Amino acid sequence: MAGASASFSPIQHIPPIRRNILSRGLSSMCTRLPWAAPMACAPDAAPELLQAAKLTVDNYVRSGMVVGLGSGRASGLAIQYLGRRMRDGALKDIVGIPMSVSSASEAAKSGIPMDHYKDNLQIDFAFDDADIIEEGTLNAVIGRRKLEGGESIIQEKSIVKTASKLAFIVSDKQYTRDLDGSIPVLINSGNWIETAEEIDDLFLGDAEVWRRPTSGPAGPLGGDFPLVTKEGHHILDVIFTSPILDLGQVAESLSHIDGVVDHGVIFGIPCTVIIASKDGIQVADNLAKSSVIDKL
């Protein structure tokens, strides 16, 4: 790969499935690996995203609820607005369960009382960002962002799946049938290369498999400082070079690979999606047998 660091040379010392990855390169770092340059990739919050965040709080949060507080730009706006509604007295006795360090920080600044996530905790409602939502099924991908210290894709996913009601807040560009980009996969750190090879074989020709680094250049081997989650796992970013035709099937396939602990796909659960666009806010859900979309 052009510009590969010296730690990846000579190429003959790299496992065979890695050689084609190094030779192809990565054409769009922001699109396919958004954690690599988050500030450069993220646009300023659009007014329509703020309106979607407000609608989420106004329509779904009630006094006395335990609320899962999501991660990301839209969730941050929703947390700020939730705090404002509490200060105004419109909502009372809310307890927030933050999904990340950033959501906890935003909740603290907004004056929202918080508790830690526990396995037996009853969460009435949760909102979260998604990197992409599959139109129709409403299957979602989370975890592409750069993880800060103490953050956990596993915990975020657990809160989302535990909530009695769930809403994702996304832009219209993130709600699509044309799925692409990466899926983060949490794996056991021991014998990780074997797991990566099996994933590479599963999606042969359709995806590249890179181990996510803590710092330094991204690449198949994750550089000298691979990211280790708080649970002790490594993250492989499965970067699709062809369209993802069935996100649920991809998730099922990943779950059956030895060494895979979890992944960033959320599928098969009832949810609502608040979609922000310049033409207005749309709301889609899969609460009935078929997905329904309304324009507000």
What residues have CB less than 8 Å from 157, skipping those under 6 apart?
Answer: 142, 262, 264, 266
Mean per-residue pLDDT, 30-53: 62
Grade residue 4 by pLDDT with cuts at 50, 70 and 90.
very low
pLDDT at 37: 42
Cβ atoms 100, 69 nearer than 8 A: no
Which range is least confidently modeled, 8-12, 75-79, 160-164, 215-219?
Answer: 8-12
Alpha carbon distances (Å) from 216 to 38, 115, 148, 209, 221: 14, 35, 15, 17, 12
pLDDT score at 113:
98
Encoded amino acid at 215, one letter: S
pLDDT at residue 36 in the model: 52
Whether 156 is catalytic is yes
Which amino acid is residue 81, in one-letter code? Answer: Y
- Can you give the pTM of this predicted structure? 0.83
Reported CATH class of domain 47-172+267-295: alpha beta
Q: How confident is the model at residue 295 (pLDDT cuts 50, 70, 90)?
A: low
Share of the chain above pLDDT 90, in %: 66
Of 106, 134, 156, 208, the active-site residue reads 156
pLDDT at position 152: 87
The domain segmentation of the chain, as residue ranges, is 47-172+267-295
